């Protein structure tokens, strides 16, 4: 009897676990079916990551180095994307350059949103002179052409610029828009009843910000992070196309720079500029769809129950 009872209990536990797991997975599937933009965005970005991850395991990525292969070869079975005039295998360049470009965007986006979120909550909650100073600095810097400032910063560190330094250069202005937009959202939370109750209960300012206000804006901050990452990637590609990026790294932007430098368009080497353009289109389309999908989570008017 004891053995039968134990078997029944174990079967019940397994059934409950399967029901919980199936319910969670089923809920995600239903939500993705109802939010196709989010599903497409995740699929495109995961596809790029798989392209780089699997490619680095099964392909000789050392061919990205100059003079490692015969130059100016059209695409073939041996070289799927062909080779450039520097003697680099463009397939290896795309495998290594895609995650490097994403790395620049993620580092700059995370730093920008983090700094912008802190400044936005401090300005919105405390108000007064602190809010005036932060708001004035943001408004003044937003009137200055961002590309000009980034070019100046990139020129200052050009001789020793690395991928991480490139991300820091882009991040130097990536906090401006998050500060303005998140501050506007935080101002609406400051007057909510639960925030007032937290003040009356004796909670300090940082406690109210991190325990009461911040959790309610996490979906919006997540959507802002995607937008900041896309903007950072675009800014980095623009700087690299001007020759102000990490010259030794096979990023997508530097590949475009070498295309321009060697006049690949005039020489009919279409295989040199098509792969980076395709990667950029897929990357930005994935980020755009991901941002559109997350907007349903961040915007209460568009939010739907799973």
Q: Express each pLDDT in 274-305 by its tens digit.
A: 999 999 999 999 999 888 888 776 665 555 44
Q: Say if 286 falls within a structural domain.
A: yes
Query: Confidence band (pLDDT; 50, 70, 90) for 160?
Result: low
Q: Say if 5 falls within a structural domain.
A: no
Buried b (16+ CB within 10 A) or exposed e, 109-123: bbbbbbbbbbbbbbb
HSE (side-chain half, CA atoms, 13 Å) at 67: 0
pLDDT in tens, 201-221: 888 888 888 888 888 888 889
Q: Say if 13 falls within a structural domain.
A: no
Q: Say if 223 falls within a structural domain.
A: yes
- Ranking 28-42, 58-72, 97-111 by mean pLDDT, the lowest is 28-42
Q: Say if 68 falls within a structural domain.
A: no
Q: What is the mean pLDDT of the chain?
A: 84
Distance of alpha carbon 192 from alpha carbon 125, whole angstroms: 12
Structural domains in the chain (count): 1
Residue 8 in this model has a pLDDT that exceeds 50: no
Boundaries of domain holding 229: 30-56+76-298
Q: Say if 19 falls within a structural domain.
A: no
Distance of alpha carbon 230 from alpha carbon 285, whole angstroms: 10
Using a pLDDT cut of 70, give the percent of the chain over it: 85
- Calculate the alpha carbon distances from 179 to 111, 131, 200 in Å: 12, 11, 28
Q: What is the pTM of this model?
A: 0.84
Distance of alpha carbon 215 from alpha carbon 209, whole angstroms: 9
Q: How far is CA 3 from the centre of its chain?
A: 54
- What is the C-alpha R_g of the chain? 25
Q: Say if 64 falls within a structural domain.
A: no
Q: Say if 304 falls within a structural domain.
A: no
Query: Confidence band (pLDDT; 50, 70, 90) for 93?
Result: very high
Q: How far is CA 52 from the centre of its chain?
A: 16
Q: What is the CATH number of the domain that holds 255?
A: 1.10.3720.10
Q: How far is CA 128 from the centre of its chain?
A: 33
The answer to whether 268 touches 74, Cβ cutoff 8 Å, is: no
Distance of alpha carbon 119 from alpha carbon 172, whole angstroms: 14
Residue 94: name the closest of 113, 79, 78, 76 by CA. 79
And the tokens for 118? 């802190």
């Amino acid at each position: 009897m004891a053995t039968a009872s134990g078997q029944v209990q174990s079967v019940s536990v397994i059934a409950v676990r399967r029901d919980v797991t199936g319910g969670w997975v089923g809920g995600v599937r239903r939500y993705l079916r109802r939010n196709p933009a989010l599903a497409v965005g995740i699929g495109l970005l995961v596809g790029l990551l798989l392209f780089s991850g699997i490619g680095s395991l099964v392909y000789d990525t050392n061919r990205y180095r100059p003079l490692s292969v015969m130059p100016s070869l059209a695409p073939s079975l041996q070289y799927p994307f062909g080779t450039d005039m520097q003697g680099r295998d463009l397939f290896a360049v795309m495998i290594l350059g895609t995650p490097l470009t994403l790395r620049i965007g993620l580092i700059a986006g995370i730093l920008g949103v983090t700094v912008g979120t802190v400044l936005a909550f401090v300005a919105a909650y405390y108000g007064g002179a602190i809010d005036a100073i932060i708001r004035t600095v943001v408004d003044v810097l937003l009137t200055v052409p961002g590309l000009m400032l980034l070019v100046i910063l990139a020129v200052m560190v050009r001789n020793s610029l690395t991928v991480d330094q490139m991300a820091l250069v882009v991040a130097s202005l990536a906090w401006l828009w998050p500060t303005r937009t998140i501050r506007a959202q935080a101002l609406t939370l400051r007057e909510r009843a639960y925030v007032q109750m937290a003040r009356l209960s004796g909670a300090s300012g940082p406690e109210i910000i991190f325990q009461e206000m911040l959790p309610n804006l996490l979906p919006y901050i997540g959507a802002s992070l995607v937008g900041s990452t896309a903007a950072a990637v675009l800014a980095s590609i623009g700087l690299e196309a001007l020759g102000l990026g990490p010259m030794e790294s096979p990023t997508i932007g530097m590949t475009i720079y070498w295309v321009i430098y060697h006049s690949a368009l005039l020489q009919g080497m279409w295989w040199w500029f098509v792969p980076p353009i395709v990667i950029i289109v897929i990357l930005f389309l994935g980020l755009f769809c991901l941002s559109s999908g997350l907007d349903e989570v961040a915007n209460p008017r568009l939010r739907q129950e799973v």
